[in-house]
Structure 1
Amino acid sequence: MELKIHVSEWLGKKKWTQKDLSEKTGIRPATISALYHETVKRIEIEHIVALCKAFECQPGDLFTYIENKNVSSN
């Protein structure tokens, strides 16, 4: 399974930089970068709320679940 994080797409839509998003949300620049590059291992609920406020979206707009069909379910 994979979770696609749409922060980079939202930054493009808003024409914001990662620094802009960090300033608007209070989320550390390193965390914004990890979200942008989809290398983050976990995300705090508070960060999801801050991103939703900044982007004026719902949590489901930030993430897409992709099921890995190659994994067998034993």
Structure 2
Amino acid sequence: MVKCHLSKIMGERRLKISDLARDTGLNRGTLTRLYHETAERIELDVVDALCTYFGCGIAELFEHIPDSVEKPQNQ
């Protein structure tokens, strides 16, 4: 799964979704879905705008967490 750290970054900077939408010109709904980690896809221009705004790299904004895969037990 991919974890989005937007809420953490915004919290550290005491930003509201409305502030971020106004400052970046990004759609408030898109930002809300990223903030609550309910987004199913994201456009590269959105990633670019967020990284530019926060002065961060993609790895600071998103994190890949591998799904745990259960290995079958030999019987």
TM-score normalised over the length of structure 2: 0.88
Residues 44-73 of structure 1 deviation map (CA, whole Å, 9 limit, x = unaligned): 11000100111110111101111111356x
Structure 1's 19 and 67: CA in aligned 2 closer, same or farther, altered over 3 A?
same
* 2:62 matched residue in structure 1: 63
Say what the alpha-carbon RMSD is for the aligned residues. Answer: 1.2
The number of residues matched between the two structures is: 71
Instruction: Name stretches of at least 5 consecutive residues in structure 1 with no aligned partner.
Output: none
TM-score normalised over the length of structure 1: 0.89
Query: What amino acid does structure 2 have at the position aligned with 1:66?
Result: I
Alignment partner of 1:19 is 2:14: no
Instruction: Name stretches of at least 5 consecutive residues in structure 2 with no aligned partner.
Output: none
Q: CA deviation at 1:17?
A: 0.3
* 1:49 matched residue in structure 2: 48
Select the structure of larger CA radius of gyration: 2
Query: What amino acid does structure 1 have at the position aligned with 2:68?
Result: K
Query: What amino acid does structure 2 have at the position aligned with 1:56?
Result: G
